[in-house]
Amino acid sequence: MSAARSYDVVIIGSGAGGGTVAQELAPLVRDGVRILVLEKGPRFADHEFTGRELEMADALYQDGGAFLTRDGTMTLAFASAYGGSTVVYTGTSLTAPQRVIRAWGVPGLEHGDLTRRSAKYAEQNNVHLLDDPLINDNNRLFVEGGRKAGYLVEQFPVNVKGCRGSSLCNLGCPNQAKQGTNRVQLPRAERAGVEVVTRAEVLRIEPDRTLTVRVSQKAAGTKGAPSEWAPGDYAVRARIIVAAAGAIGTSALLLRSPLPAPRSLGHGFTCHPALILVAEHPRPITNDVGHPKSYFVDHGASERFVLETCMYFPFVTAKSLTGFGGDPRSGPHLLRRRGAPRACARRPAAARDRRRRSSRRTRDRQLLPARQAGRLRRASHGRLRNGTDRSRLRYRRLGTRTRSPLAPGGGREPLSRLARDQPLPDDHGPRGPRGRGGPAGSGARP
């Protein structure tokens, strides 16, 4: 039998939407309003963010970041944790442009009002343009190549405080520098009396505003704290429900609930298939130290693509290059010479298939037009290789250890020194400060 609970407001999801709403409603607790946040993922302690690639991917992402679409042609990476995707994104903090808000056509939602409100949270979360010492060679080359190709290159504002250049934003910052809702809005809400329950999945919403909630037990040997409630099923009554489980989670929840599906469900949803473009430079560059994603080119309106910098970890780089070039096991040892921008294509959904938008097959030629790839290749002076993002499941054995995620000197060390002093070993042990490793098969050990 399900245990019964009752609240005035129940918020589903604790990410950028849910965590922010929880903070804004928190003052109502003083007037006796009971507010609950339900989060499917666990709550992590600071020391659990180790920066180990496969370990953190399994802990933070749904299905380890390899959530497959129904037809198996695309993987989706989204977080399941206290703080939602603000735990795993790179901290890039942009206000939606006017053209997007206009296209949404939501009554009462005006771009000017949204911009004013966004400024409040930008200040709370320390959003600013990154200081020059943390801009690495990969980003500098992107700016140089983009400008030579005739693009307007813009800098991402990011929400970091005390960044030490570990470049591990997507694994949950091991230095606690990224100011997501897990570090700003949610703690404030809880101090004001909002109740947050983790490992609590909302299975469906009934017409009478009763939520069927399943609280899972922490498995032995896994990361994260146990749930605040005992494991089991709960029937949670609410006067008001805020569905903020993300584009994937909220849509799936509404579709499996015995509710009339809103006419707008899935309308306007776009999925941006990402193509990692790897250029091999003749000399080593700083790429996996410093902030990974600092600049972008926005041609979303004119040509339906966006370019942005990225430098993913050895495992992700290796799986992206599968089928291109030589033995992928050599990838981590050539990492110092590689630059990696990413192309995101905006492909609108067909009118009859809006809800299944994320399952459409993607092909390289649809992601970046050949003439654009040529311009980028010529400007960046690198050998451009196209690699599609494959499932993590198939190439899990390629995961390798990289340098220590804790950059020495509190971020004051030059990036070139960080790259030199914390090289890439070739075994699969725990990650930490080591000596220099040899190439695969050489017998050398750190």
Please give the CATH topology (third level) of the domain spanning 3-128+174-256: FAD/NAD(P)-binding domain (3.50.50)
Q: 439 or 7: whose pLDDT is higher?
A: 7
Domain edges within the chain: 3-128+174-256, 129-159+272-395
Q: Are the C-beta atoms of residues 355 and 268 closer than 8 Å to each other?
A: no
Model pTM? Answer: 0.78
Residue 304, pLDDT above cutoff 50 = yes
Encode pLDDT of 46-102 as tens digits: 999 998 888 898 999 988 887 887 777 777 888 999 999 999 999 999 998 898 898
Encode pLDDT of 243-288 as tens digits: 999 988 998 999 999 988 777 777 767 777 777 777 778 888 888 7
Residue 128, pLDDT above cutoff 70 = yes
Q: Could you count the other beta carbons within 10 Å of the beta carbon of residue 429?
A: 12
Please give the CATH topology (third level) of the domain spanning 129-159+272-395: Cholesterol Oxidase; domain 2 (3.30.410)
Confidence (pLDDT) at 280: 77
Q: Are the C-beta atoms of residues 314 and 427 closer than 8 Å to each other?
A: no
Confidence (pLDDT) at 82: 98
H helix or E strand, kind and range, residue 387: strand 383-387
Encode pLDDT of 322-368 as tens digits: 554 555 555 555 667 777 777 777 655 444 443 333 333 333 333 34
Confidence (pLDDT) at 205: 97
Beta bridge partners of 258: none
